[in-house]
Amino acid sequence: MPRSRKRTEESSADVQAILLDWINSSRYVPGDKIPTERQLALSLKRPRHVVRSALLALTARGLLVRQVGRGTYVASVDAADTTDGETSGAGRPSLAEILEARLAFEPALARLASTRTSLDEIGRLEMRRAAFDSARTLAELEWAEAEFYRMLAEVVGNTVLADMAGVLTANWRRLVDTRSKSLPITEERRARAHEGAHELIDALRALDAPRAERVRVAALLDLMERFSIFALVEDSAGGHDLSTGNEQARSDQGGEHSADQADPGDRRRRGDT
């Protein structure tokens, strides 16, 4: 990748992270008009083409809505989490489907990211992890976590994987908003979010692909357990059984890595003694 293009993509990602922080912290709420490209370029001290790239990326993910002649707005809850790959209404993916897709996708992405990460990218991930502390509701923490793991696609530098990660994150945000928007965050839950992200960053820093994959699988299995009651109710009519998929995933994980080989943190999150 040409150096100038890489710098533009990295700067665009930084601007996206700033705008997402503004949205997640409710500085700008759904329906609010955000500053113009020119205003953002001046306040953030970034070139306009970088700001434009960031706005287009967030619009493509359904988080912003650009209205010709009027400006750019934070998308509503219903509109914010749609993408070109997602249908509306009954055609939207269910919670169980999204959780299963994340389990199939994110561990492999973590493994790949561990072979391509750099100190600068690890620094950006650490900054993204800091957003966990500014979350005020459980939904905001779930959004911040999903954004953290979406950034793995940026570490990999594959635009197709980045688009796929964006689709999963957008759908996840729509679902957790309806289930967790007003729920408080316990300090234990926030600590677990930090622990999972910290363990993954350590694996990336060590270039340890198996550990990166293993850590992400364990965290997602924990996530599936926490949301399984919603998924089972939602998908029982369609024949989806998240608990069965969860047990299968644990079995698959056990086949590759025994409990004795797994890190203590991994076993703790899986509920092993």
Look at residue 78 in the predicted model and tell me its pLDDT.
46
Residue 75 neighbours by CB distance under 10 Å: 21
User: CA-to-CA distance for 25 and 190, rounded, in angstroms?
Assistant: 16
Q: Is 144 a member of any domain?
A: yes
Clarify whether residues 203 and 258 are in a common domain.
yes
Position of tokens 């309806």? 178
**Best-predicted range by mean pLDDT (67-81, 116-130, 224-238):** 116-130
User: CA-to-CA distance for 5 and 15, rounded, in angstroms?
Assistant: 15
Clarify whether residues 13 and 118 are in a common domain.
no
Which of 32, 57, 79 is the endpoint of a domain? Answer: 79
Clarify whether residues 226 and 192 are in a common domain.
yes
Clarify whether residues 210 and 163 are in a common domain.
yes
Clarify whether residues 104 and 221 are in a common domain.
yes
Clarify whether residues 118 and 66 are in a common domain.
no
If pLDDT is split at 50, 70 and 90, which confidence band does 43 have?
A: very high
Clarify whether residues 48 and 177 are in a common domain.
no
Q: Is 23 a member of any domain?
A: yes
Residue 105, domain extent = 89-270
Clarify whether residues 109 and 221 are in a common domain.
yes
Written as six digits, the tokens of 178 are 């309806």
Question: Which long-range CB contacts under 8 A does 56-65 form with residues at least 24 apart?
Answer: 57/12, 57/16, 58/16, 58/19, 58/20, 60/84, 60/166, 61/166, 61/169, 61/170, 62/86, 62/170, 63/20, 63/23, 63/170, 64/19, 64/34
| Rounded percentage of the chain residues whose pLDDT exceeds 70 | 71
Clarify whether residues 124 and 10 are in a common domain.
no
Look at residue 214 in the predicted model and tell me its pLDDT.
95
Q: Is the Cα dihedral 201, 202, 205, 206 positive or negative?
A: negative
CATH code of the domain containing 220: 1.20.120.530
Q: Is 98 a member of any domain?
A: yes
Look at residue 269 in the predicted model and tell me its pLDDT.
38
Clarify whether residues 62 and 110 are in a common domain.
no
Q: Is 41 a member of any domain?
A: yes
User: CA-to-CA distance for 225 and 246, rounded, in angstroms?
Assistant: 8
Name the phi and psi angles at 136, rounded to 5: -110, -20
Which of 79, 106, 135 is the endpoint of a domain? Answer: 79
Residues facing 71 on adjacent strands: 67
Q: Is 84 a member of any domain?
A: no
Which of 61, 79, 97 is the endpoint of a domain? Answer: 79
pTM: 0.57
Q: Which stretches of 30-91 are DSSP H helices? A: 37-44, 48-60, 77-80
Reduced to 3 states, what is the DSSP secondary structure of residue 243? helix
**Best-predicted range by mean pLDDT (2-16, 53-67, 127-141, 206-220):** 206-220
CA distances from 147 to 79, 128, 225, 249 (A): 18, 8, 20, 23
Number of domains in the chain: 2
CA distances from 121 to 10, 55, 100, 126 (A): 9, 21, 27, 9
User: CA-to-CA distance for 31 and 121, rounded, in angstroms?
Assistant: 32
Clarify whether residues 73 and 188 are in a common domain.
no
